[in-house]
Amino acid sequence: MSTNNASFLRVSGSDLVDSNGTPVTLFGIGVAGWLNMENWITGFPGYEEGQRAAVGRVLGPGLRDFFFDRFLEHFFTADDAAYLASLGINMIRLPFSYKYLESDDAPFEINESGFRYLDRVIDLCGAQGIRTVLDLHSVPGWQHQDWHCDNPTHTSQFWVHRTFQDRVVHLWRAIADRYKDNPWVAGYNPINEPADPSAEKVGPFYERLVEAIREVDQNHVLFLDGNRYALDFEFFGEPWPNTVYCPHDYPAPGYTPGSRYPGRHRPIHVLNAGGGQAAEPEGEAYWDKAEVERSFLYRTSYMRETNTPIVVGEFNAVWPESEQERLRLLGDQLDVFRKYNASWTYWSYKDVGFAAPLRLAPNGAYLERIRPILDKKARLAVDLWGGDRRKMAHVLGPIHQALAEECPDWNPYPWGSEFMVCRVILQILFSEALLPQFGELFRGMGEDDIDQMMQSFRLENCQPWQPLVDLLRNDITARRRHATVAAV
């Protein structure tokens, strides 16, 4: 495609600017759950590779590949790019798994055919004036302890084995070489939400990774996540040139079952730890707009101290249960972003009905097919996002009590003991037990059935969550209007 109307972004003080030096605010959305699948977004239990294996055991390898090919084909098309442009979106964050570009069976061998998925989206979005941030969301060995890097465990092996890190450095050399001259690529997000328990390996790894990318590509902005899920940034020291440091802004009411906003609640995560250690739970807290701002200031302290741009890499809310309260929380976040001139990226674009501005139709073929698993997942609270762990108190309670009595000082990384119990029991054990049942839902399907079902993900078959669509669009419009007036 032509790049005549595009220019490379670059960092200038606390701003991102274009080739004319004009400040650019990024209003983005994550095209998540697609090239890196997530359970709460598309409805399967557990982790992506487990889903693929479960479907393959039922359909066989040929139909399994067709199953996921049709999903990839229908999830994002030219119509989606045009729709996002109509909202004012000027950037997408494109999460992808390393498995599209490299195989565990052939490490360090780049699969050139896998680039076609990235090329397609970059071109479709560029035709609408939308830039793409390339986000490596899953790496070999898992960079953090959760499902969304395709991790079936509660540990991260990426920080243990140097070979995994070497593979990622090698992969990014290839990615940077391919896109170094493409200005529709806004930049590179080389590793999503790293979580190095020691907090000692993440800094040297970033140094090596940045050096490798810059040997190939000096044009593109680097978007770097802090340690412990984009929360801890102080280890970076002096900022690198042409680099943005990206916090992920998830206030506790947005992910805590039973929360009210404004209101008091007790979060499951613990947020004030550093140095690779978990912290004591903060206890019950009152959350309102002032607390949302305080949390944002904590997460962005490094960017403000170093006078670098603030680009919120992710934000959303799957709680409170009241949509009105959820929208109020999101509106308050957007107000805070505006106050501090922060660019933002909403997470994410499409899902089965939790947080996205586009939702699959409830009576569509895909949701009708997987409804039994969605209902069972809700009963068992197996998803961190959207799962209500209170429903499993009869299972979790005795474990929490035994640990409190026998191991009172156990406070594991990254978020403490209560989170770890939920991770191991609900999100791993029960989720894995559901995977065979998920695969069985597709028994007997042929190619025509699969293709028709996967068309549920097409734009025309989705339904907008209109209040959220309006909230995002209105914020973009207001901020652009303000920027125009200020420029005059």
| Residue 164 three-state SS | helix
Active-site residue (options: 38, 193, 325, 418): 193
Residue whose entry in the numeric block shows the structure tokens 């209105």:
474
Q: What own/partner pairs with CB < 8 Å and gap ≥ 24 does 479-483 have?
A: 479/25, 479/27, 479/338, 480/25, 480/88, 483/23, 483/25
Whether 200 sits among the annotated catalytic residues: the reply is no
Residue whose entry in the numeric block shows the structure tokens 């598309």:
42
Whether 314 sits among the annotated catalytic residues: the reply is yes
Please give the Cα distance from 362 to 382 (Å, whole number): 21
Length of the chain as a residue count: 488
Contact 81, 52 (CB under 8 A): no
Burial class (CB in 10 A: 0-12, 13-18, 19+), 146: buried
Active-site residue (options: 38, 48, 102, 314): 314
Please give the Cα distance from 143 to 228 (Å, whole number): 10
For the chain, what is the total number of helices (H) and then of strands (E)?
Answer: 16, 15
H helix intervals, 381-430: 393-406, 417-422
H helix intervals, 237-322: 289-299, 301-306
Contact 363, 45 (CB under 8 A): no
Please give the Cα distance from 300 to 60 (Å, whole number): 48
Phi, psi of 233 (to 5 degrees): -120, -10
Q: Just list the catalytic residues.
A: 193, 314
